[in-house]
Amino acid sequence: MSQPSKIKSQATNVVELECSACGKKYDAAVEQHLCTCGKPLLARYDLLQAAATLTLESLKSRPRTLWRYAEVLPNNAPVSLGEGMTPLVHVKRLGASMNLEKLYIKDEGLNPTGSFKARGMTVAVTRAKRLGAKALAAPTAGNAGGALAAYAAAAGLPAVIVMPADTPAANVMECQAFGAKVVKLNGLISDCGKYVAEHKDREGWYDVSTLKEPYRVEGKKTMGYELWEQFGGKLPDVILYPTGGGVGLIGMCKAFDEMQEMRWIGSERPRMVAVQAEGCVPIVRAWEAHQNTSQFFPNAATIASGLRVPGPLGDLLILSMLRQTKGTALAVSDEEMLNAGKELASLEGIFAAPEGAATVIAVRKLAASGWIKARETVVLFNTGTGYKYSEAWERALQA
Q: Are 345 and 70 in contact (CB under 8 A)?
A: no
Q: Where are the beta strands (DSSP E) in the chain?
A: 16-19, 25-26, 41-44, 88-90, 102-107, 136-139, 159-164, 181-185, 206-207, 238-242, 271-277, 328-332, 377-382
Rounded Cα distance between 361 and 163, Å, is 28
User: What pLDDT is stored for residue 10 in this prediction?
Assistant: 47
Q: Are 181 and 158 in contact (CB under 8 A)?
A: yes
Judge whether 53 lies within some domain. no
Q: What CA–CA distances, in Å, run from 288 to 278, 293, 294, 367?
A: 14, 12, 11, 19
Q: What is the per-residue pLDDT across 132-149, written as a single tens digit (0 to 9) for each?
A: 999 999 999 889 999 999
Cα 224 → chain centroid:
11
Q: Are 158 and 203 in contact (CB under 8 A)?
A: no
DSSP 86: -
Judge whether 156 lies within some domain. no
Domain that holds residue 373: 88-114+215-398
The band of 396, judged by pLDDT with boundaries at 50, 70 and 90, is low
Judge whether 313 lies within some domain. yes
Q: What is the per-residue pLDDT across 232-282, written as a single tens digit (0 to 9) for each?
A: 999 999 999 999 999 999 999 999 999 999 999 999 999 999 999 999 999
What integer is the mean pLDDT of 184-206? 94
The residue with greater pLDDT, 392 or 156, is 156
Judge whether 264 lies within some domain. yes
pLDDT over 90 at 394, yes or no? no
What integer is the mean pLDDT of 29-40? 96
User: How many structural domains are present in the chain?
Assistant: 1
Judge whether 190 lies within some domain. no
Q: How many residues does the chain have?
A: 399
Q: What is the per-residue pLDDT across 333-378, written as a single tens digit (0 to 9) for each?
A: 999 999 999 999 999 999 999 999 999 999 999 999 999 999 999 9
Judge whether 274 lies within some domain. yes
- The radius of gyration of the chain from alpha carbons, rounded to an integer in Å, stands at 20
The band of 393, judged by pLDDT with boundaries at 50, 70 and 90, is confident
CATH number of the CATH domain containing 95: 3.40.50.1100
pLDDT over 50 at 118, yes or no? yes
